Amino acid sequence: MIHCFSAAAETMMAGQPGFFDLSDRYEALSAAGDPLERLAAVVDFEVFRGPLVAALHYAELRRFFEVSKCLFGPSAIVLL
């Protein structure tokens, strides 16, 4: 038996982002003059790596980034 999508299934999926939604969102932010892009162009966030690693439990932080498959290092915490 072949099942079709029902109206209920389509309603449940309506709030979920599509495949290209995130990249489209980033493009829209860039086009609007994203202040974080300008800040990243001016500030070298790697300067904060040493103090962050010293202040935080880096093993726990590294585990967090590995589990979350995050592409950022400890310096990204400054932006958070």
Q: Is residue 1 part of a domain?
A: no
Q: Is residue 44 part of a domain?
A: yes
DSSP-H helix ranges across 1-80: 7-13, 21-31, 35-42, 49-55, 58-68
The first and second tokens of residue 11, run together, are: 């309603």
Each residue's pLDDT expressed in tens, for the chain with a length of 80 residues: 555 555 555 566 666 777 778 888 889 989 999 888 888 889 888 888 888 777 776 667 666 666 555 555 555 655 55
Domains of the chain: total:
1
Q: Is residue 65 part of a domain?
A: yes
Q: Is residue 18 part of a domain?
A: yes
Q: Is residue 69 part of a domain?
A: yes
pTM greater than 0.95: no
CA distances to 14, 40, 46, 76 from 52, in Å: 40, 18, 10, 10
Give residue 18's domain range. 7-78
- pLDDT at position 69 is 52
CA distances to 4, 18, 73 from 66, in Å: 38, 25, 10
